[in-house]
Structure 1
């Protein structure tokens, strides 16, 4: 334990040293006042002026996650990611050279220079004004989703220049054809990228928010990592893009992130409007948040004033002023007003979804009328929820889980022992390892009126995809769990008209 504390101390000192060096070495820090003054002199620079003002107004709280490599003596290692060509070679080099890595946060204002930002502004404006697929892109979309030098939290790099050189032939081909549809180019560039990318959870994760150098070195990742790359590629071709996040799914486990690009939005095959849209539609997201370079102040204006510096549990993803709620763009949603069974003395509450065996907060709501009720904005309908309140640095579930249906009605588990039914079950969930299997044992449970999951009984499956239970109470919330599977994949379901209805 003593050696572990010493190692942590060494790492902390090393990271602190790197931060100090980064701040001291960057003598040419960005000088927004100088840029703004220079751009104000000529009318032809009016758009550059607006760009500089936009970046200045929104950069103040933005930080970058920078990787830090160190040797076995806890000294900074001279390691350059750009020299790495694959994940396997990265692992081999780190092992051979006895190098480990960590990361640290640093303010963008301390690592950017006026030259970097000016080059970025010039290239972004040129792309917006030149390419035919940008004819429908408004100035607001340009500023927030094409101009920024990064997605949000990653280490800024010259991804525009590097990726433009990589894909310039494809970009030029679409430009020569006068293609006004960004959709065609977007999918074409992604297809090229998939020729050398791999989606997997088995990869070296250097930082939580990857830079281009990290992505090109590893060439692997999951949705969050790869969506960063696709945003870089889209923006390098002049296509506004960003990332939409599903903090947690509502009808299966896990979370999601996807790149979204500015292009045509169709209804029944007809273009109705233009806007940001994902390459693939989301299925059953309870909440969708968009990475916005422009401050939307979700944290500073909406959450922080409510808690008034009290030590309340706050999910990390909510501590950001750069997440825009776009749930209504994806699903039918409503402002859910929930009345507590008993008045509560807290200023905010959480709405939770079921995720791998536990209820986890997916969004917050403000409590009104001295603890009588809470309001959650834009929550997806046809979803199972549970309310929680912060207790110190944790949260506690209250009342009972419920289903918010498509008509905005709330229903609870209501087992009816006077009307028993027979049910034929096929799955334990709608995601991975879902189908029931022959010769495996399953336990069927229901939620009683006291909010306790009770076992109805265990049974071995006699036939793949079919498992029958007889004489069980109707009208309840159910779960089917494989007895020897501890992955917590089971989901809540209703049983209606001979079918499992999943939540």
Structure 2
């Protein structure tokens, strides 16, 4: 039998545990009330505190063991850049080796290494108070030429203490104010000047730049770590820019495209606001005002504020599309439309006519249709989608949230610039022939690389130093992807090379030399000892041998102010008349590559194979192909960049 004394002790312990548990549960709420009480005598700051605490739900920090491992990378990156400077290559091979060594030692980055720690479960009063005071001081000192003093805009786009899921640093805002206040006061004269000032200070002076290596790190990086390495993905750089702008009292946020409508992947950029109508979009990737090269179906804007979302949609649709801290701003960038799509009756019946359906774009990195928005059932199997950007191809799908699976609910369809929906479907039993030259559109960025070959040349010589060399060919135009040039050559050469002026940078994917051993002999591919420069180092990603390795997917990147060339020493007794030069600029290599296997598909309730070819030249010919469909060409021997296309006469129309 338990004694009265023992019972009292047990009760006291249980009471203490209960009090501790209640305090643990209630402490974040009590802490938020502490923030409000702190400003009870300041109406505006109290309103700001209420805005932050009332909209705190769903905001979080990523925590976990992953940060311990990857802090090693950040610290080693910092040491590397301190030694070599921040203005060199964005992702030198040394950094890749550092990343690889951490992965070998600790395993690859995994989502389970990180956990969400909700802001509502933390005591953040000190962070909030520090943030509110600093935000007001900076905002109130902003010249009227930069920002209209709209309190709602201040709360939404200046005041927030976070922009992503970064770890919170209480003194971050004041630190950035001291670091960059001179830039604001001397270089920001109006909203249009912000782009030049940010580019001059952050990119040119401090060396912040995009790093493909950091695309592998999917979470927000806090300010202190970003300042160690000054490298990141588009998202990381954008988030740092927003922290800087907000610390200076300037409204800013991130606009983003989850999936492009006409290429793989997505993008994000910084949007700076003067008032509700005057905005400036800054592309942190290039450091310039935004120019959208690719076509989105949707553009979203990050907000701190909690926005209304239909409860049923939140329960049944993907999280990203029902994120309460994003709003649709597609109409700010393009003309948009409301479209209606009728589901395939059998699919609608099989899935019970769901209340919502998805509109999806093709993402070739996953080789899947990926959701970009959802629409509501308006009756008779018809679903309505609002604020949709035209000039795209999409498909409608039903979604099973428990299984995280999509089910095609319509044929693919195109949306014209004027908003007209056109279904892709067979035109009776009509058949057609096709001549195809690419599996992916050739975007303008390919001209950027090709332009670097302009005014480079090929020369032949009878000595290794190329003294008194003869110029055999000059590239006097911007070349295409594949270039084949005949040469009239009246003498033999032992040495032949491609070269460029020392002060110019250039890049060459592949060069092949052809010639004759005798004046009337047959033309043959020339072989010999590869010669070139500069000599590769540990940080050389693209050495000269990449231009003569038989693979146009690799390339020689010749930097400015260094001697660079690549060629052949044919050997003594093997001199030749140079008759032809075939060369390839650096490119996406999505043209047709001889001897690769290609498969042609059309969408017929899934991708159905309708042809296979092994080309010997840079084109493919198909016959007896169903007309009016959506097609996809796949290189089975390399590369995953592929886009759906339709045919307009003999022309591939890319989507």
Same fold, TM exceeding 0.5? Answer: yes
Alignment correspondent of 1:5? none
1:36-55 alpha-carbon deviations (Å, 9 max, x no partner): 345343xxx33212211211
In the aligned structure 1, how far is the partner of 2:376 from the partner of 2:232? 36
Unpaired runs of at least 5, structure 2: 1-19, 81-94, 284-289, 444-586
Check whether the contact 1:86–1:219 (CA below 8 A) recurs between aligned residues.
no
Once the 2 structures are TM-superposed, how far is the Cα of residue 378 of structure 1 from its aligned partner?
A: 1.4
Matches within 5 A, 1:7-86: 31-41=31-41, 45-68=42-65, 85-86=78-79
Counterpart position of 1:11: none
How many residue pairs get aligned? The number is: 451
Q: Which residue of 2 aligns with 1:484?
A: 637
- Give the structure 2 partner of residue 3 of structure 1: none
1:219 to 215, 225, 230: 230
Residues 213-262 of structure 1 show CA distances to partners (whole Å, capped at 9, x for unaligned) of 23223432211222111111221222211111211111001122222222
Shift of residue 156 of structure 1?
A: 1.7
Asked if 1:305 is matched to 2:312, the reply is yes
Judged with a 3 Å threshold, the aligned counterparts in structure 2 of structure 1 residues 384 and 111 are, in CA distance, closer, same or farther, namely same
Check conservation: 1:64, 1:106, Cα contact below 8 A. yes
Distance in 1, matches of 2:224 and 2:406, equals 38
Q: Within 2, Cα distance between the matches of 1:191 and 1:449?
A: 52
C-alpha distance in structure 1 between counterparts of 2:614 and 2:74, whole Å: 54
Shift of 1:146: 0.5
Q: Note closer, same or farther for the CA distance 1:333–1:220 as it changes in structure 2 (3 Å cut).
A: same
Aligned match for 1:232, one of 218, 237, 243: 243
Give the alignment of 1:105-254 within 5 angstroms: 105-132=116-143, 133-157=145-169, 158-174=171-187, 179-194=188-203, 195-203=206-214, 208-254=219-265
Stretch of structure 1 that moved more, 226-235 or 212-221? 212-221
User: Residues 477 and 248 from structure 1, CA distance in 2 versus in 1: closer, same or farther, beyond 3 angstroms?
Assistant: same
The CA deviation at 1:285 is 0.9
In structure 2, the partner of 1:458 is: 613
With over 3 angstroms needed to count, the CA separation of the structure-2 counterparts of 1:108 and 1:460, relative to structure 1, is same
Q: TM-score, normalised by structure 2?
A: 0.61
Q: What is residue 324 of structure 2 aligned with on the other side?
A: 321
What SS class does the counterpart of residue 396 from structure 1 fall into?
strand
Give 1:90 shift.
Answer: 7.7
Q: Equivalent residue for 1:358?
A: 368
- Among 262, 278, 281, the residue aligned to 1:277: 281
Is contact 2:361-2:394 (8 Å) kept?
Answer: yes
Give the superposition deviation at 1:78. 11
> Is the contact between residue 439 and residue 643 of structure 2 (CA under 8 Å) also seen in structure 1?
no
Matched, 1:402 2:413: yes
**Alpha carbons 1:71, 1:100 under 8 Å: kept:** no
Question: What is the distance in 2 between the residues matched to 1:315 and 1:109?
Answer: 23
Aligned counterparts of 1:71 and 1:96: Cα–Cα separation in 2: 15
| Mapped partners of 1:30, 1:263: distance in 2 | 36
Tell me, in whole angstroms, the C-alpha distance in 1 between the residues paired with 2:343 and 2:215. Answer: 45
Larger Rg: 2
Provide the residue aligned with 1:390 in structure 2: 399
- Structure 1 position 499, deviation (Å): 3.5
Please say if residues 73 and 98 of structure 2, whose CA atoms lie closer than 8 Å, have aligned partners that are also in contact.
no
- Give CA deviations for 1:138-174 in whole Å, capped at 9, x if unaligned: 2222110111111142222233222223323323323
Separation (CA, whole Å) in 2 of partners of 1:222 and 1:471: 45
SS in 2 for 1:395: strand
Q: Is the 8 A contact 1:134 1:238 kept in 2?
A: no
Query: If the length of structure 1 is used for normalisation, what is the TM-score?
Result: 0.77
Q: 1:67 Cα deviation (Å)?
A: 4.7
1:447 deviates by 2.4
Which moved further from structure 2: 350-359 or 77-86? 77-86
Separation (CA, whole Å) in 2 of partners of 1:30 and 1:202: 42
Select between 137-146 and 155-164 the one with higher mean Cα deviation.
Answer: 155-164
Looking at structure 1, the residues matched to 103 and 323 of structure 2 have their Cα atoms a distance apart, in angstroms, of 36
Q: What is the deviation of 1:84?
A: 7.1
Q: Contact 1:69 / 1:99 at 8 angstroms: preserved in 2?
A: no
**318-327 vs 29-38, which moves further:** 29-38
CA–CA separation in structure 2 for the residues paired with 1:335 and 1:71: 48
Q: Does 1:335 align with 2:338?
A: yes
RMSD (Å) for aligned C-alpha atoms: 3.8
- In structure 2, the partner of 1:12 is none
CA deviation after TM superposition for structure 1 residue 186, in Å: 4.2
1:32-87, Cα deviation, whole Å (9 max, x unpaired): 4344345343xxx3321221121121113322223546889xxxx99897897257
2:337–2:389: 8 Å Cα contact kept in structure 1?
A: yes
- The 1:330–1:278 alpha-carbon spacing in structure 2 relative to 1, beyond 3 Å, is farther
Would the alpha carbon gap of residues 250 and 171 (structure 1) be closer, same or farther in structure 2, given more than 3 Å must change?
Answer: same
Shift of 1:355: 0.7
Rate the CA distance shift 1:92–1:372 in 2: closer, same or farther, 3 A.
closer
Mapping of residues 411-430 of structure 1, within 5 Å = 411-416=422-427, 418=430, 420=432, 423=435, 425-426=437-438, 428-430=440-442
1:436 partnered with 2:591: yes
Report the CA distance shift for 1:34/1:80 in structure 2 as closer, same or farther (over 3 A).
Answer: farther
1:411–1:451 Cα change, 3 Å? farther
Aligned in 2, Cα 1:435/1:92: closer, same or farther, shift over 3 Å?
A: closer
Query: Is the Cα–Cα contact under 8 Å of residues 67 and 206 in structure 1 kept in the other structure?
Result: no
1:198–1:219 Cα contact (<8 Å) kept: yes
**Preserved contact between residue 295 and residue 322 of structure 1 (Cα < 8 Å):** yes
